[in-house]
Amino acid sequence: MRVGLTLSLPRQASTVARARQILATLLSLTDVGDDIRANLAVVVSEACSNAVIHGDPDSTVDIAISIDDDVCLIEVGNRGRTPDAAKLHADLPAPLTIGGRGLPLIAALSDTATFVAGTPDRVLLRITKALTGVRAAS
């Protein structure tokens, strides 16, 4: 099965919930297990939250979600700057503060997560997750 959606949402807090709902709707067309659905909900929430918080004031949050057989690809982009030292790793920041946990969570819950090089004023985070809990349709 192949399904996908591309959209641009406003840079506001409600975008995070909308993106999560859209992802849940697309995943409902598959037999993906609850644990993977939950992980992807956190991933898309954190990626969109970062785009809302750190994007340029007049930027939109551009989201592309593609499910192709047993892989989910999520891309979240906005106008802004890639974070300094934007290496995604699963280590939480020390000292642990209010912020700084989004990228480590994304790295820990996805199979791959990387910032994609583009124009200097554009940030694009590409995330993949194997849908290993997918069962053949009956």
84: tokens are 């300094």
Residue 135 lies in a domain: no
Residue of 45, 43, 61 lying closest to 131 (CA atoms): 43
Please state the domain count of the chain: 1
CA–CA distance, 105 with 47 (Å, rounded to integer): 10
For residue 74, what pLDDT is reported?
98
Residue 26 lies in a domain: yes
138: tokens are 């009956």
Residue 136 lies in a domain: no
For residue 117, what pLDDT is reported?
79
Residue 59: helix, strand or coil by DSSP? coil
pLDDT tens string 88-123: 554 555 554 555 678 888 989 999 998 887 788 888
For residue 103, what pLDDT is reported?
84
pLDDT tens string 12-48: 999 999 999 999 999 999 989 999 999 999 999 999 9
Are 77 and 122 spatial neighbours (Cβ–Cβ below 8 Å)? yes
CA–CA distance, 24 with 37 (Å, rounded to integer): 7
119: tokens are 């124009």
For residue 45, what pLDDT is reported?
96
Are 110 and 43 spatial neighbours (Cβ–Cβ below 8 Å)? yes
Query: Residue 39: which domain range?
Result: 2-130
Q: Which of the 8 DSSP states describes residue 70? A: T
Residue of 17, 19, 20 lying closest to 7 (CA atoms): 19
Q: pTM of the full predicted structure?
A: 0.85
Tell me the average pLDDT across 68-72: 93
For residue 51, what pLDDT is reported?
93
For residue 138, what pLDDT is reported?
41
CATH code of residue 57: 3.30.565.10
